[in-house]
Structures are given as C-alpha cells and as structure tokens.
C-alpha cells in the first residue's frame, strides 16, 4: 500500500480524470475493506492524537470501554506500554491495554478482552496443581536444593582459602545460577497462598533495597527514592511483596549497564497504593511487551523467564494489578497497584 501511494503521489499531476477516478475507486474500496475488518475484529483499536483526543475508534473498543471511556484510562501518549485493567462498566471485564507510538505523534491503543483467558489460565493452573507430574517435579527441585546448599558452603570455604581463584569463582557463579533457577521453578510450581495482613508497602520495599544495596553500588546505579512518610495500609503478605520487588529490581539491574538510575516512587490515591519502579536500562520493544508476564519468555542467556509470571501472580492474589511502560534505549517502568484496605472493606460490604 505504501508503495502504491508513493507511486500515485509522484505521478498525480500527470494522471487524467478517468485514471484518477479509477485510483480513487481503488483507494475507497481498500478503505471499505479495512473498515469492515476493523468493525468485525474482536480487539479494540483506538488511535489518539498528540493531545490525547480520539481520532479513530472501532466498535469493539467502544463496546468494552464505554462511550468516552478512552479518556478515563489516562493513556501515556507516545510511549510503548502494556498493562491490565479491570473495568466494571459497561460490564465487568479484565482488559489488556497495549500502546505503541505511531507516526505524526499519534498513539495506537490495542484493547484485548482477557476475561475468559484469565479464568482459563487460573483453571489450568488449578488442574495442573492436582497433577502428579507437577508434584514430582517440585519434589525433585526441592531435593536438589539441599546438595546445592552444601556445594555452595564448601565453595565459599574454598574461596576463602584460595582468594581470587578463577575456577572457584566460576563454580560459585554456576551454583548461584542453579539456585536461582530452582527457586523460580519451585515458586512457579508450588505457589503458596499469600497470608494477608494490614501493612505498609514501604516496609518490604526497604528490606529489598537493603538486600540489593551492594549490587546497586557495584554497578554504580543511583537509587532515587520518592516514598511518602505516611501511607495508607494495604492487605499484604510482606515476604511475597519482597519477592515482587526483588524480581522487579533484579530485572532492572540486569537491563542496565554500568551507571544509570532507578527511581522508586510510591503514592496513594483514593483506591490504591501505587509503586512505580523506573530504570534507565535497555527497555523493551513492542514484541517483548506483548509477551511480558508469559512463562519461559526470556531474552537472557541465563534467565528462566519465570520471574515476571510469579510477580504478576502474587500481585493478582493481592487483588492488585501490574503493568509496564517501556521505550527501547531509554528504560522501563513497572507499576504495581495494590488496593487500599478501606476499599477492600467497602467492596466486601
């Protein structure tokens, strides 16, 4: 199509009326064709201009978002992002929103209804939960943990006696890697239900940052904190939230070279407490964003691709949502939203 338009534009001055009419007919047929496709498609397509006004919206987008619904979503214009959203109006649905910058400063928004899919995944996970294979796999992974610990201890002793020995360091690195893989697999196979008690998200965040302090310093990464002193309580499992933040910080670290900045901003609104972790790492392209949170998707030689799946599951079990915004070469921001306790109580009433 692009070449067709280029060709017509180049010769437009030389075309006679009949040819022009014919070309016009072709374009208008093509337009009708796309219009029909966009009308039939069960995915919401919205184009926003640089001011955030809707330039185009197909019927499905209007059906799931309601009239004027797009404006209320607070789309970050001109960026690539993916997030999930539960809407209660016009109907209760779980929506997946993906944005992409387009030419002429406009933004493309794709809306997928993942209500059924989500239910299906949960059912599939439950079914798998009863399978013997799963228990066996978890059992084996668990058993590997013990000898691995012994290996790691012995290696540490050896390293102390032979400082700087490259072979020992390599072994230590590989053992640590195995340990990480097993930990991820166990978490993925045997998720434990969160034990929710009222708490402040700043606590698990602080624990996590403390544990990773050396890793940040080694890579000369500046950590900027923007955390209010007083925050509304959320119903949380502190250990599991630590795991959430740990996975997000670890990914940020792995996406960054030497230097750069990670900003942690926490804020509350009427409904949620929101934690945003922004890095200045490699960022992700649209294809990577599309498959984010899916198991076994990794761009790393030593990755398991399970971290974000586990992270999203924990957040969902807290009644929260997680999303990401990213730009290749600039960095990535993950946003975790957890419902405030008062809202949960109100919802229960």
Positions touching Mg ion (CB under 5 A) are 251, 307
Residues near 112 by beta carbon (within 8 Å), at least 6 away in sequence: 43, 44, 95, 96, 98
Longest dimension (CA), the chain: 90
Query: What minimum distance in Å lies between the beta carbon of 190 and ligand ADP?
Result: 18
Query: What minimum distance in Å lies between the beta carbon of 339 and ligand ADP?
Result: 24
Cα 118–123–129 angle (5° rounding)? 130
Three-class SS string for 301-331? CCCCCCHHHHHHHHHHHCCCEEEEEEECCCE
Which among 281, 278, 283 has a CA at the least distance from the CA of 224? 278
What are the angstrom distances between the C-alpha of 141 and each of 41, 80, 132, 199, 324?
A: 44, 37, 14, 32, 31
> By CB under 6 A, is residue 300 in contact with ligand ADP?
yes
Q: Which of 305, 316, 327, 343 binds ligand ADP (CB under 6 A)?
A: 305
Tokens representing 237 are: 């499992």
> By CB under 6 A, is residue 177 in contact with ligand ADP?
no
> By CB under 6 A, is residue 87 in contact with ligand ADP?
no
Is 204:238 a contact under the CB 8 Å cutoff?
A: yes
Query: Which of the stretches 15-23, 28-36, 79-87, 280-288 binds ligand ADP when contact is defined by CB under 6 A?
Result: 280-288
> By CB under 6 A, is residue 298 in contact with ligand ADP?
yes
Query: Which of the stretches 32-40, 76-84, 238-246, 274-282 binds ligand ADP when contact is defined by CB under 6 A?
Result: 274-282
> By CB under 6 A, is residue 307 in contact with ligand ADP?
yes
Query: Which of the stretches 61-69, 93-101, 157-165, 246-254 binds ligand ADP when contact is defined by CB under 6 A?
Result: 246-254
> By CB under 6 A, is residue 191 in contact with ligand ADP?
no
Residue closer to ligand ADP, measured from CB, 254 or 317? 254
Residue 298, binding choice from Mg ion, ligand ADP, none, Cβ under 5 to 8 Å by partner class:
ligand ADP
Which residues here bind ligand ADP, judged by CB under 6 A? Answer: 247, 251-252, 255, 279, 281-284, 288, 292, 297-300, 303-308, 332
């Amino acid at each position: 199509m692009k070449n067709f338009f280029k060709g017509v534009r180049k010769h437009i001055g030389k075309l006679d009326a009949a040819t022009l009419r014919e070309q016009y007919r072709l374009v208008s047929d093509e337009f009708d064709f796309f219009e029909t496709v966009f009308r039939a498609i069960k995915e919401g397509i919205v184009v926003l201009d640089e001011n955030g006004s809707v330039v185009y919206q197909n019927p499905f987008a209007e059906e799931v978002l309601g009239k004027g619904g797009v404006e209320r979503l607070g789309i970050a214009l001109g960026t690539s992002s993916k997030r999930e959203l539960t809407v209660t109006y016009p109907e209760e649905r779980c929506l997946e929103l993906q944005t992409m910058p387009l030419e002429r400063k406009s933004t493309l928004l794709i809306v997928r209804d993942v209500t059924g899919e989500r239910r299906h995944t949960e059912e599939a996970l439950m079914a798998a939960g009863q399978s013997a294979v799963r228990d066996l796999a978890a059992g084996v992974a668990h058993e590997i943990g013990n000898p691995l610990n012994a290996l790691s201890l012995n290696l540490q002793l050896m390293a102390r006696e032979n400082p700087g020995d490259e072979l020992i360091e390599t072994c230590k690195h590989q053992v640590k890697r195995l340990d990480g893989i097993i930990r991820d697999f166990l978490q993925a196979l045997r998720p434990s239900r969160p034990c929710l008690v009222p708490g402040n998200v700043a606590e698990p965040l602080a624990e996590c940052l403390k544990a990773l302090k050396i890793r940040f310093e080694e890579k000369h990464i500046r950590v900027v904190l923007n955390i209010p002193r007083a925050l509304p309580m959320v119903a949380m499992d502190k250990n599991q939230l630590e795991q959430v933040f740990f996975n997000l910080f670890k990914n940020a670290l792995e996406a960054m070279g030497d230097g750069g900045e990670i900003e942690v901003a926490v804020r509350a609104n009427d409904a949620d407490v929101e934690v945003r972790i922004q890095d200045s790492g490699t960022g992700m392209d649209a294809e990577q964003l599309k498959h984010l949170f899916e198991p076994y998707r990794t761009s790393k030689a030593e990755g398991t691709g399970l971290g974000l799946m586990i992270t999203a599951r924990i957040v969902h079990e807290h009644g929260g949502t997680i999303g990401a915004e990213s730009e290749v070469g600039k960095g990535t921001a993950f946003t975790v939203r957890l419902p405030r306790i008062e809202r949960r109580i109100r919802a229960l009433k």
